[in-house]
A and B are shown apart, each in its own frame.
Chain A
Amino acid sequence: MTISTSDKPFLERVKESEQDKFMQASVAKSQDAQWDKREASRKELGNWPQWRDLGEQIRQHVIKYLPDYLEEFSDNIEKRGGHVYFAKTDKEAAAYITNLAKEKQAHKIVKSKSMVTTEINLDKELLKIPGTQLMETDLAEFILQEDDWAEPTHIVFPALAKNRDQVKEIFDKLGYEGDNDPEHLARFAREYLRRYFLQADFGITGCNFAIADSGLINLVTNEGNADLTMAIPKTQVVVMGMERIVPSLKEAETLDNMLSRSAVGQKLTSYCSFSGKQVEGEADGPEDFHVVIVDNGRSNALGTPFEPVLQCIRCGACLNVCPVYRHIGGHGYGSIYPGPIGAVLSPVLDGYEKFGDLPFASSLCAACTETCPVRIPLHRLLIKHREVMMDKLKMDHSFSDKIMKMVGVGTSAPVLFNMALDMDHPMMGVLSTKDQGSVENEYNSGRIKQTGMMPKLARGWTDVRDLPRPPKKNENFRHWFKQHKAALEAQKHD
C-alpha cells in the first residue's frame, strides 16, 4: 500500500509543515481565493442545497447497487471491444498495467493526472521497465515529476505547496529561460509536452465518472491533457477506483456540474469529455482499450458506518475549507489523500496503525461537512473513527485514556461536579497568578500560565495559551444564581 507519503511520525510532519512558510502562504492564498470563486459559482447555479441532495442521492444509490453497476459497466466496455480488469490490490493493478506496457513494447507512455495511479504506485513501477519513457502531462503533476517525482499535496492541485519561483527553478533544469510568470511557465510546459504527446504510443488516464449504461469514460480537465492522452496513443488504459460509477450520462452531467464548481469554482472545466475505445467511423481514440477497476481497500468501507466515504467525487472542496489543512498542508497528513476526506479515507484504506493520528487532527469545525457537494458527513465520520479506536479497539494506553475516563465520570456525576466547583479555585491556586495580563474581562479570578509536569492532555492547553483560574466557591455562577433568586424572593416579600 502506497498512499503513505512519509515515514516520519505525525508530529514531526506537522512541525516540518509549520516551518514551510512558502507552503502555508500558498495554501492560505489558494483557500481564500477558492472561498470566493467556489461560493460564487454555486450561488450562480441556484438551489445549491437541493443540488447537494441530488448529488448525495445519486452517489448513495450507486454505492448501494455497486456490484450491479460494475457488471453493467464492464459488459458495456467489452461490448465496445475493450477489456476490463478487476484489481483487488494496488500491486495487482500496477502489475497488470506494467505487463501490458511490456507486452505492447511501449516506448513513450503519457499519463494524465490521476490520484488512483498515485495510490497504486504506478509511476515507479513503469519507470522500472527498460527502454520505456514516462511523461506526466498534467501541468501540476509534470512539475512534481520534474521535481524528482515529489508526492502530491492536494487531490486537485497536486503542486499547491510549490510557489512560482520554485516552479521556475524546476523548469530551468529543462531549459526554460523565462521569468516566473505562471502563464509563461505554463506555455513552456505546454510546448514541451506537446512534442512528447505526438510520439506517445501508450496512454494512461484516471476517470472522473464511468458511465455504466454506455461504457464511456468521463474526464474533466482544464488543460485538455487527458483528452490528448485518450486520443493519440494506440493503447489506452483507464484506471479507476471501483466506486467511480454513475448510472448514465444524466447523472454524470449533474455531478460534473457540481464537481467543477466545487473543485475550482468554474461552471465547467475547459475540457469535459466522454470517450472510450475507437469504434467504427471514429477518426481517433485508442484501438486497444483497457479499464482497470481498483478495490485496494475500498470494500472495507462497504456495509460499515464509513460507507459514505465512497460517495466522494474527489473535488477537494473539503481540503480548500479546512483550517487544519491550511496549516499542516498535504505533507502533514502523510497520505496522498490529505485533508478531511483523507483523514476519513486513509485509515479505511490502510488502517489505524499508519493513519490513526489523522482522525484526531481535526477541530471538528464541520467546514468540510458543510461544503461537501455530495453531503458526506465528514466530521461525523472523524468522530466515528475516534470511537472505533477508543471504545472498540481500545488503542490508547497512555495517561490520556485515564484522563478521558475521569472526564467521563466527572461529567456524569452531579455530586462530584458540584464538589469540583467548590474546590477548583483553591486547588488551582499553586498554578495561578493574580495579574490579569493584557486581556480584560477574562481572568477576573486570576490566570494560569503553566500546568508544569502534567501529562500532555492536561498540559496541552497551557502549552500555547493561558487558562482562567476558576472563580471562588462563593463567586461562581451557581452561587450567584442562588443569591440572585434569594434576592428576588426577598423583594417579593417587601
Chain B
Amino acid sequence: MKVVIFSTCIVDLFFPNVGAAMTEVLERFGCETFMPVKQICCGQPTYNSGYVKASQKVFRNEIDALLSVDADYIVGPAGSCVNMLREYRILLKDDPEYAEKAKQVADKTYEFSQFLYRVLNVIDAGAELDAKATYHRSCHMTRLLGERTAPFKLLDHVKDLQMEPLPHIENCCGFGGMFSAKEPEISKQMVDEKVDDVLSTGAQVLISADPSCLMNIAGRFSRRNEKIKIMHIAEVLNHNVNPERIKFHEPLGVEQEVRP
C-alpha cells in the first residue's frame, strides 16, 4: 500500500524524530512511503488568523503536492493539521478547479494513530517503553477530527508503559496556532494549568499526537525549569519494537467509524 507522508510544517521545521518514527512504523506495517518535497503547510496559520484569501494559495500548493504521488493514503503526524486537510472539502467546495481535488485529499487523509488503528487494524504495534506517562488529547484531533479512541488503544498495548489519566484532559493547552503568539497573556495561563496538571500525575513522559501542543507544553515546562520527557505517539510506538509482539484486531464495523 502506497502512503504519502504529510510531514506538516512543524515537523519539517522542528521535529525530525517525529517524521522519522512515523515513517519507520508505517514501513514496518508494509507501507511504501513517499515524501513530496513541494508540500509545506495545511494553511491554518493564515486561515485561522483571518487571512483567508492568502490561504487559498497555501491550500492549492498543499493539494498539488500531496496528490503528486498516486498513493492510497495520506498520513500525517498531527491531528490538527490532518483535520485541516479534511476540511479542505468544505473550504474549497466552491473552487471550480480544486473542489474535486480537495475532496480526493480529504477522503484519503488520516492521522497517524488513527491510520494504524482504523485502516491497518493494529492494536499492538510491538513497542515497549518502561515509563510512567500521561497523554495530552489535542482539541482538533478529538473534537473536529473526531478521533477519541485510537491513541488510547494503541498506548494501552505498549509493553511496560504505565498510563496515568490527565486531569482536565478536555481543556486546551493554550497553543491555538497564532493565538499562542498573539495572546501570550492568556495562552500562558492556559499552558500553566496544563503543566500543573501534567505534573500532578507524576508522569515522566508526556505523550501526544499533536507536535504543536507538545511544543507549547514542553516550552512552558522548559521555561519553568520543570522536568519532563516529551514523546510523540509515533516515537512511543517505534520504541524498542519486538515484531513478535505485533497484534491486529478484527476490522472495525461501520458503527465504529469516526463521526465528529
Contact = CB atoms under 8 A, between A and B. Distances in A.
Interface of A: 11, 14-15, 18, 32, 35, 321, 323-324, 326-328, 360-367, 369-370, 383, 385-391, 400, 404-405, 407-414, 417-418, 420-421, 424, 437-444, 447, 449, 456-461, 463-468, 470-471, 475-481, 484
A465 B216 contact: yes
Given A369-B143, A481-B35, A360 B230 contact: no
A10 to B, nearest CB: 9
B176 A470 contact: no
A30 B153 CA distance: 31
B223 A464 contact: yes
Given A391-B52, A418-B37, A478-B35, A441 B143 contact: no
Interface stretch (B53-61, B95-103, B247-255): B53-61
A418 B186 CA distance: 33
A363 B179 contact: yes
> Which of under 10, 10 to 19, 20 to 34, or 35 or more describes the interface residues of B?
35 or more
A471 B20 CA distance: 13
B53 A391 contact: yes
Given A418-B37, A439-B229, A466-B222, A35 B170 contact: yes
Contacts of A324: 186, 190
A14 B50 CA distance: 22
Nearest to B259: A49
A366 B50 contact: no
A439 B228 CA distance: 5
B191 interface: yes
A391 B53 CA distance: 7
B207 to A, nearest CB: 11
Contact of B46 (A366, A407, A443): A407
A18 B53 CA distance: 36
B187 A363 contact: yes
Contacts of A461: 180-181, 184, 219
B162 to A, nearest CB: 18
Nearest to B18: A477
B85 interface: no
B69 interface: no
B9 A411 contact: yes
Given A390-B51, A466-B219, A411 B139 contact: no
Contacts of B230: 439-442
A10 B191 CA distance: 20
Contacts of A412: 40, 54, 57-58, 60-61
Interface in B21-72: 23, 35, 37-41, 43, 45-55, 57-58, 60-61, 65
B170 A366 contact: no
Contacts of B41: 411, 417
B120 interface: no
B212 to A, nearest CB: 11
B20 A480 contact: yes
Contacts of B242: none
Contacts of A410: 40
A464 B184 contact: yes
B16 A480 contact: yes
A391 B51 contact: yes
Contacts of A439: 218, 221-222, 227-230
Contacts of A444: 17
A476 B12 contact: yes
A475 B20 CA distance: 11
Contacts of A442: 214-215, 218-219, 222, 230
A442 B35 CA distance: 23
9 contacts: A321-B170, A360-B179, A361-B183, A363-B139, A389-B50, A414-B37, A417-B12, A439-B218, A481-B35
Contacts of B220: 464-465
Contact of B184 (A32, A414, A460, A480): A460
